[in-house]
Amino acid sequence: MRVCIVGAGAIGGLIGARLAEAGRSTVCALARGATLAALQRLGWRLQIDGRLVTAPLRASDTAAELGVQDLLVIAVKSHALPSLAPSLAPLIGPGTLLLPAMNGVPWWFVDGPPLASVDPGGGIAKALPLPQVLGCVVHASAAVAEPGFVHHQRGQGLIVGEPRGGESGRVDAVAALLAESGFEVTRSADIRRDVWYKLWGNLTMNPVSAITGSSVDLVLADPELRDFCSAVMREAAEIGKRVGCPIDQTPEDRHAVTAKLGAFKTSMLQDAEAGRAIELDAIVGAVHELGARVGVPTPFTGALLGLTRLFGRVHGIYPR
């Protein structure tokens, strides 16, 4: 199988290096800047389980140089995809599968008009054909130690499923490829619900940690802040009911799960500290927009969105 990793950052690098090490596919990368230079010079580099994984690869910043692929793993930040998606056409043939391994609400999540917070103008949907998309939820954490060099932190879970539910041979094939590469893969018959459940957990911890500059354990230790997070989560749970993605936990149940992870920095906090753009729209903006679409009042989610948006603009990590 010919596989291309679009966005060889933390998660893209983790997936790419593990696929390359397994040797069941030819893995290339679409990258740019310092990451591209490092990949071209040193290949895949991944620190995992106390060992260093290395493998050569073909990397380019031009899709046409890489050609049509069998599988496209899209691992860019959500805010980068609207401008990037049209340029991916040379990678996509009629049989190419698209696997977005991204945070937040994906562009394929809703029926009807696209969410402006995720796919403004519908450009992603036009460029990336829905019939070729598979849903994916990542339950793994990694960090970029330096351009092209990824350190695995925790978790190796990937959930894969058809966007509109059910089972399929192509889900089985992609799941098998990922499992053979060392990931803990779950085939889901309802990937939308898996997407919403992960989002439900990230919805508050990511932006609150970024605003406050604190690790998650400190957020959960503050009673008033914890109650605020719970209020946002209750709004999202009600939205989930109305879009066919019910949540079977209470916010306190989820807080208890998160607390077991200890003092860790969320991906949004890491981005804020590094001066990188934050993924606010796909994580919080989409929930706020969906609430308005299905008639669920979201005053707490709106407050969280406004606070984080202003924080990002003041610090130059969210567009004005």
- State pLDDT tens for residues 193-246: 999 999 999 999 999 999 999 999 999 999 999 999 999 999 999 999 999 999
Ordered alpha helix ranges (H), the chain: 10-22, 33-42, 63-66, 81-84, 123-127, 169-180, 191-212, 216-221, 223-242, 251-259, 267-274, 280, 286-294, 299-314
Ordered alpha helix ranges (H), 95-182: 123-127, 169-180
User: Would you identify the CATH topology of the domain 2-189?
Assistant: Rossmann fold (3.40.50)
- pTM of structure: 0.94
Q: Is 126 a known active-site residue?
A: no
Q: What is the spatial order of strands in the sheet that 92-100 belongs to?
A: 58-60, 26-30, 2-6, 69-74, 92-100
Query: Choosing from 77, 126, 198, 241, which is the catalytic residue?
Result: 198
Report CA dihedral (78, 79, 83, 86) to the nearest 10 degrees: 10
Residue 149's pLDDT is what? 98
Q: What are the two backbone dihedrals, phi and then psi, of residue 258, each rounded to the nearest 5 degrees?
A: -65, -40
How far apart are the C-alpha atoms of 245 and 249, rounded to whole Å? 12
What proportion of the chain, given as a percentage, has pLDDT over 90?
98
How far apart are the C-alpha atoms of 173 and 255, rounded to whole Å? 35
In 3-state terms, what secondary structure has residue 79? helix
Strand partners, 74: 6, 100
Yes or no: say if 15 and 75 are a contact pair by the CB < 8 Å rule: yes
CATH of domain 193-314: 1.10.1040.10
What proportion of the chain, given as a percentage, has pLDDT over 70?
100
Sequence ranges of the domains in the chain = 2-189, 193-314
Residue 261's pLDDT is what? 87
Yes or no: say if 103 and 78 are a contact pair by the CB < 8 Å rule: yes
Whole-number Cα distances in Å, 67 to 58, 59, 173, 278, 283: 11, 12, 21, 31, 32
Fold: same for 2-189 and 193-314:
no
How far apart are the C-alpha atoms of 44 and 26, rounded to whole Å? 13
- Chain mean position to CA 138: 7
